[in-house]
Amino acid sequence: MKVAGSIALVTGANRGLGLAFARVLLEKGAAKVYAAARKPESVTLEGVAPLKLDVTRDDDVTAAVRATGDVNLLINNAGIAKPGDFLAANAIEDAREQFEVNFVGPLRTARAFAPVLAKNGGGAIINVLSVASWMNNSLLATYGASKSAAWALTNGLRIQLAEQGTQVVGLHAGFIDTDLARSIDAPKSSPDEIVRTTLAALERGEGQVLADEISRLVHRNLSGDFPAYFQTTAALRAKAAAE
C-alpha cells in the first residue's frame, strides 16, 4: 500500500506516537488524515481533520465510521500503560482498564472499519503493539498481557482480512520517547523514526515491524530455548540500567 494519496485515521493522534503518525503521514503525501482523540479540541496539528473517538465507546466508533467513509488506512495507536506486577493490589482493576483500551479498542475499531476498508479497495490496518507483547516483567506486567492479546488479535485479523485484500501490520517497539514512557528511565526511540520505519514496511507489503534493536533482539530469542529468553530480558534490563 502507498502512503501518498491514502486517507488515514489515527487513534490517539493528539500526542505521542499518534501525533507522530499524523505528522509523518502528511509529510509523505497522505490525502487526508483524521486525527482521532477523546477530546478533539486537543488535536492542534495543522492539516489534519480532528475527530472525536474514544475507542472504549461503541457509539463513538459508530459515529466515526459514519464520518469517515473514505478511510483506507486505520492506525490503532490509542493505548494506556499502568506500571505494576501481577500481584499488586490493583492488578485486576488495572488489567481490565488496559485490556479495554489496548485489546478491545483495536478489536472494536477493526470490526467497525473492516467493511469501510473493503469498500475502499482493501487498504490496511496498523496495530501499535510492543516488545512487551513477548517480554513480560514486573514493571509493566498487566500492560504486557494486554499487548500480548493485541498481538494475537493482529495475527488473527491478518488471516481473516486477507480475503478482502486488507494488509494488517503489527508494530513492535521498545520504549518510545513519548508521554507514555516519560517516567521510565531507559533508552528510548524517536517517535518519528518508529513511524517512518513502520510506514516503509507498510509500503513494502510487510505484516510485522520490528522497529528497534530491543524488539529485534527479543524476537530472535523467542525461537531459542526457554532459559535464553529470561537471560536476554535480564541482560536488557542490566544494559538499560548501565546506560
Catalytic residue positions, numbered: 143, 147
Q: In what order do the strands lie in the sheet with 7-10?
A: 49-52, 32-37, 7-10, 73-76, 124-128, 167-172, 208-210
CA dihedral 101, 104, 107, 113 (to 10 degrees): -60
Smallest Cα–Cα separation from 15: which of 146, 27, 38, 6? 38
The residues facing 124 across adjacent strands are 73, 167
| CB proximity list for 242: less than 8 A, separation 6 or greater | none
Report which secondary-structure segment, H or E, holds 163.
none
